[in-house]
Structure 1
């Protein structure tokens, strides 16, 4: 379905507000910039900012991008013959190769991350987001596999997958704040993913394989 003029205008306005806000936050610090200042710099009203972003934190971590459904969504979308862990590993590789924002490889991310780590409300949201991702994935795995309510296996598997996801994002963050170039970070993180996969046991790598034959290509 093609994007209409109204939807395109709204998307551009939202993106403009977000970019202006991030620039101010990086320059002056998250806690030292008000919504009113963001609105003035973006040349919109305060009400317009709140129409697009429910909270100040959403300007940095919008719910549609920083979603607790992220890992569960990746697992739901996996193809036939693919396991839950395999799907997340492959998605991470794709995002790293594509230098995508989801894994923090967009230009200037290091300065954005430094700003985020200096803001207690943002670091708290990041920590909570990681826990919610793992909990949501555990519920998805339990439902898919028909596990009993007291079966710990879906939670254990979700912990493994959530931990490898956190390890990758943490390594990107460490390297970005140290000033490494995105292409260098990508190369090192791809090596890390290979190491992670080689260390995971067969039970993790073959858990919750989607039925059906994988597509040949």
Structure 2
């Protein structure tokens, strides 16, 4: 089997395991489902499940790696002349337009599963914190200051808090029964309000210059 086909097979297996686990979690609740039951339902060995997903929570929050790195990636992709704030704001609005999971889009059943599980709620909080830490490291590198310097940590905290607030708003709207289109409209307006609050302090911070 070629390397390409082998990697495709791995991705397909991983996705099948995640899909099976999510179905079981939605049917019975996160805490009630075991790794062994997921393995049986997915027709793989228990070790295969844990090899792909060392933490049970990440079977439900399968986007954890992308989520953790998303703000740092948005910083890296900002355009010439864009500040960190402007770049992250643009990336956020693009995620909203795509109705993506990174902006908090899901279905009501999935949202209820997350908030009803203390384990998943804690894991989501942890991912928000890790995303903030990754952004702080990226900001320090971008601005040429030592890792752990206060300014990039403070800026990361503000930007991550804005994203966390908007993410929770998306969850709240989902639980209220709003459609994805309605949620997207509401988040677009909310983003204007939330990010505008940061402009007086951050409009000129970490502006990308021509290389």
Give the TM-score taking structure 1 as reference length: 0.87
User: Among residues 119, 122, 135, which one is paired with 1:121 in the alignment?
Assistant: 119
Partner SS, residue 201 of structure 2: helix
Q: Distance in 1 between matches of 2:195 and 2:14?
A: 38
Q: Distance in 1 between matches of 2:102 and 2:149?
A: 32
Cα deviation for residue 153 of structure 1 reads 2.1
Match of 1:66 in 2: 67
1:119-170 deviation line (CA, Å, top 9, x unaligned): 2221111112222222222222122212367853222211211111111101
Cα deviation for residue 181 of structure 1 reads 0.8
Q: Distance in 2 between matches of 1:4 and 1:149?
A: 37
Cα deviation for residue 98 of structure 1 reads 0.7
**Is 1:138 aligned with 2:136?**
yes
Q: Distance in 1 between matches of 2:133 and 2:73?
A: 13
C-alpha RMSD of matched pairs (Å):
2.0
Cα deviation for residue 15 of structure 1 reads 0.9
Count of aligned pairs: 208
Q: Which runs of 5+ in 1 are unaligned?
A: none
Note the 1:18-167 alignment, pairs <5 A.
18-62=18-62, 63-67=64-68, 69-106=69-106, 108=107, 110-147=108-145, 152-167=150-165
Partner SS, residue 66 of structure 1: helix
Cα deviation for residue 36 of structure 1 reads 1.1
Q: Distance in 1 between matches of 2:20 and 2:147?
A: 47
Kept in 1, the 8 Å contact 2:36–2:46? The answer is yes
Match of 1:171 in 2: 169
Kept in 1, the 8 Å contact 2:141–2:147? The answer is no
Q: Distance in 1 between matches of 2:195 and 2:128?
A: 20
1:28-56 deviation line (CA, Å, top 9, x unaligned): 11000011111111122212212211121
Q: Distance in 1 between matches of 2:177 and 2:12?
A: 30
After TM superposition, the runs of 4+ consecutive aligned structure 1 residues lying more than 4 A away are: 148-151
Q: Distance in 1 between matches of 2:101 and 2:183?
A: 13
Kept in 1, the 8 Å contact 2:137–2:148? The answer is no
Q: CA separation of 1:8/1:100 partners in 2, compared to 1, >3 Å: closer, same or farther?
A: same
1:38-95 deviation line (CA, Å, top 9, x unaligned): 111112221221221112112012342332x321221122221111111111111011
Match of 2:210 in 1: 212
